[in-house]
Chain A
Amino acid sequence: MSTLIGRDHQSRLIAKLLRRAKFSVNENELTRFRSMSYENVVAELLRAPQGPTTPPTTLGEKDNDSINEMMNWWMLEMAAGGIHEKMTWFWHGLLTTHRNDAYGFEFIRKQLSLLRSQALGNYRTLLHEFVKDGSLLAYLDGDGSRASNPNENLGRELMELFTLGVGHYTEDDVKSAARALAGWRVDKDNVEVYFDRERAFVAPLLFRGVQGTWDTEKLVDALLDDVQTAANISRQLWFYLGGGWLTDGDAKRLGEWWMNRNYDITPLVERALLDTKESYDYMRPKYGLEYFFHYCAVTGSDVLEGRHRANALGQLPYQPPNVAGWPTDDRWLNASQMLIRGNMAWNFEHELVSNHESITEDKALDMCSLFAISPETSTVLQNASATDLDPAVKGRTLLSLALASPEFQLL
């Protein structure tokens, strides 16, 4: 693994923490927090108030315009907010829905309110509500599924994505789950979800070795009572917060620990942030939106005016590429992505610092909250510093390079 050069130990720890717990990190915030202990910063981040959980009723001319307005509202909340926003995005990636297949504004608003209200709430509560969510039932074909010939999509994804993970259930489990979940209907006119008993399965059913009368409640509870679910979800959350990919054994231990806390999300987030205090600085790529918001925070670019850039980066809310949400792995570090990010780094409009002459090598790194850099990046900045460019142009170039640096692409 790469060896990094540390510039200032306390700044490095706090910057890493802020990057992981928030979308926007800037110099002023870092200055404020760096005088506190790491543990106190974690506590303060968890205590920070959340923005409104329910999006405002925005009125566009068409339903699609209303959804656009709501997404803009959410993006501004993300840019300004803290750990609640970061966790809402995690749940949206895990429990995802595409706006084109979600029955429109009112249903998406309901779902987003649910994700926001449970961002640091309880996963059992969240999942029980989520499988009965109108947008989700639309997206995964749960709406109208009949036990006599059920649609298997929702049952499969419930086990593959929301609970156990692939490889931990059988095709027979999928068939049984599909039957047990059948009966949900969405009333689009009244924006309600109801249960149609005529479509439901009433006879005893064998699910994961247990013969009984299964319904949605029992099914979700049974899946949550399996430590594999706790291990699978907590491992992904750990990774999302920059803790790296745990081994199977560690994931199981973490899952057991989480189950003992009844799937409460706050203690798990707190532990992930505290335990990884001394971990390596760059455990995973910054995802498209993470780069976007951090870039806006550093350069002062307007979040909504730059929305097309988030689109080009491949990450706009409620537009996931597939039912599994966005990639979480190294696929973000490809030429296509770096073409866009490099272009943003080259073309930034800087409103936060008026005199570019003041941007030195160190200043550029400070602005980008980079306190652990590779020898190669150090060399790149030294070389740029040594050119005989006009000082203002040089300062601008140094900031471009810091924004384009491999370190700034990583969480």
Chain B
Amino acid sequence: MSPQEYQNYLNTYGVAPAPLHAPPASQNQQSPKGKARRRFIQGLLATGAIGFGGAALYKANPTSQGFSSFGSPNSSLATGSDPVGVLRSDANPNRVLVIVELVGGNDGLSMVVPYTSGTYYDMRSNTAIDQGEVLALTDTLGLHPNLSQLHSRGVTVVAGVGSRFNNLSHFTSEKYWQLGDLTGDKSYKSGFLARCIDPLDQGSPVTGLATAGYTPYFNAAKAPSIALANAGALGYLVRNEDQLQKTAFQNGLADFGSLDLESHLALVGDSYDKLLDLGELTRQDQETDAITQGMIDNGGSLGRQLAFASDLIESGSGVRVVHAKLGGFDTHNGQRGRHDNLMGQLDAAVGGFMNRMDAAGKGNEVLVAVYSEFGRRIAENDSSGTDHGQASNTLIVGPIKPQIIGDINVADIDDNGNLKTSVPFDSLQRSCAEWLGIEGSSIFGDSATELLF
């Protein structure tokens, strides 16, 4: 945030924005506000301002008859967890990774079209994108005509990205993608994004943001990550001095917690502190600018999600990883019209998002990687649709060189009639993690050592 932006923020909201680069904090870090109020309460205790009357006091771990102890409330051993990732010392603390998941199995061949392949046009009599419509990238590949904003901005294509497991269930594939498990047999307990979020934690109100609601493998990390679809969900946390009841409730939330920073009680208190910080950073009453209006009008659900993500990124909430979703890609029938429409939404949402990031001076610090749980079979079915397939093409938008990574050969298919994987998806994931400054080996072990960018 520039000094001018800082001043604007102060003038608009009457409070200082959260620091964009808070110093690295230990695992049980407190927000500055939390610390301050805990000192305040400690002061009251010392002066006897809080009276306990004649009440009994209870402590954890009293003596026990049966065992050497009752056991400890610290249950970190109770569930396996992944090792915490390692951040390189030269990591750029401003970078933000946005993962856009196209749910249902995107037909990558209709997104990045092999528009000079006779095989493609032979096999796709009803769903092919006409050669004349394609927005050319190279002599062989071009974008869907509705991806015009992204085409003029410049994109990186990852061709032939896919898995090495043989399972075309939506749920199983999505799970392995989210875990970063290329072969479907690894023992990761949390998603690869959750493993990224931990080392990026700088003590901000929120480090990881899932904009499509509860996202199972996203939320498993220790660092503050939150599933939040829009600012409305923060309603009860947004300050409004005119609403006395709300203020009383919020004051209570702010004062919950414990002097004992190791306790469960403190974890709850800190969560409220972070949420209240977010409430203060959220601009519910702001007029919608033209870029955002375009995202909302034309970007479908993804447009609204990325508009909200923009709000939080620009407000200095500390968001470093965003997981957004656009559904509707399971095009077993009548693919063309449905898919065209979704491509238009993707373009409006991601294009608009990048325009907002440019306007905020963050265009060079935000990377959007699009993926889907699997691609679709090259041969059409009889319903003018396509069935579940294997490898696919995908897109990256942001400050890396526009290029084609990997390759796709529509004439070279596997025994099930599916495109073969030329780029393992965990290479794409590890490359994204490395771009954030995370040591890939710390969250992927020996897997996916070949980096794409």
Contact = CB atoms under 8 A, between A and B. Distances in A.
Interface of A: 1-7, 9, 12, 98, 100-101, 152-153, 166, 236, 238-239, 243-247, 249-250, 253-254, 271, 275-276, 278-285, 311-312, 314, 321-322, 324, 327-331, 333-339, 342-343, 346-347, 372, 374-381, 383-384, 387, 389, 393-394, 396-397, 400-401, 404-407, 409-410
Contacts of A247: 68-69, 71
B171 to A, nearest CB: 5
Interface stretch (B1-9, B211-219, B395-403, B409-417): B211-219
A275 B62 CA distance: 12
Interface string B54-79: 01111111101111111111111111
Interface stretch (B143-151, B231-239, B362-370): B231-239
Contact of B71 (A4, A246, A407): A246
A236 B269 contact: no
A335 B71 CA distance: 26
B264 A337 contact: no
A244 B169 contact: no
Contacts, number: 256
A84 to B, nearest CB: 23
Given A281-B58, A321-B217, A339-B228, A250 B69 contact: yes
Given A3-B58, A7-B55, A335-B275, A376 B256 contact: yes
Contacts of A375: 41, 45, 50, 52, 259
A401 B246 CA distance: 11
A101 B171 contact: yes
Interface stretch (B247-255, B326-334, B345-353): B247-255
A285 B172 contact: no
Contacts of A239: 71, 75, 78
Interface in B70-115: 70-80
A342 B236 contact: yes
Contact of B245 (A253, A376, A397): A397
A271 B266 CA distance: 30
Contacts of B248: 384, 387, 389, 394, 397
B256 A250 contact: no
Contact of B271 (A152, A322, A333, A376): A333
Nearest to B236: A346
9 contacts: A3-B59, A6-B56, A322-B216, A329-B79, A331-B222, A336-B227, A380-B251, A397-B245, A406-B265
A334 B66 CA distance: 33
- Rank and list the top 9 A-B pairs by shortest CB-CB distance, nearest first: A244-B71, A1-B60, A280-B60, A406-B268, A6-B56, A338-B271, A321-B216, A333-B267, A406-B265
Given A283-B60, A321-B217, 14 more contacts: A2-B265, A3-B59, A7-B55, A239-B75, A250-B68, A250-B69, A275-B64, A278-B64, A333-B271, A335-B206, A335-B278, A396-B245, A404-B252, A410-B264
B290 interface: no
A377 B310 CA distance: 36
Given A253-B67, A335-B224, A5 B55 contact: yes
A328 B214 contact: no
B181 to A, nearest CB: 11
Given A329-B75, A330-B267, A331-B220, A278 B256 contact: no
B252 A401 contact: yes
A314 B135 CA distance: 42
A404 B255 CA distance: 12
B251 A383 contact: yes
B285 interface: no
Contacts of B60: 1-2, 279-280, 283
B274 to A, nearest CB: 5
A334 B220 CA distance: 10
B185 interface: yes
A376 B259 contact: yes
A342 B253 contact: yes
B56 A322 contact: no
A409 B267 CA distance: 10
A384 B256 CA distance: 12
Interface in B156-188: 169, 171-172, 175, 185
Contact of A406 (B68, B205, B257): B257
Contact of B171 (A100, A253, A374, A397): A100
A284 B339 CA distance: 47
Contacts of A400: 249
Interface in B189-204: 189
A95 to B, nearest CB: 16
Contact of A245 (B78, B220, B263, B266): B78
A282 B60 CA distance: 8
A246 B265 contact: no
B71 to A, nearest CB: 3
Nearest to B271: A338
Given A2-B263, A330-B76, A397-B245, A335 B226 contact: yes
Nearest to B274: A335
B265 A245 contact: no
Nearest to A244: B71
A256 B400 CA distance: 60
Contacts of A101: 169, 171-172
Given A3-B57, A236-B78, A334 B224 contact: yes
Contacts of B15: none
B267 to A, nearest CB: 4
B127 interface: no
A152 B185 CA distance: 9
Contacts of B267: 330, 333, 406
B308 interface: no
B71 A243 contact: yes
Contacts of B359: none
Contacts of A324: 79-80, 189
A376 B257 contact: yes
Contacts of B169: 101
A379 B260 CA distance: 16
Contacts of A329: 75-76, 78-79
Contact of B70 (A243, A330, A377): A243
A162 to B, nearest CB: 14
A1 B249 CA distance: 27
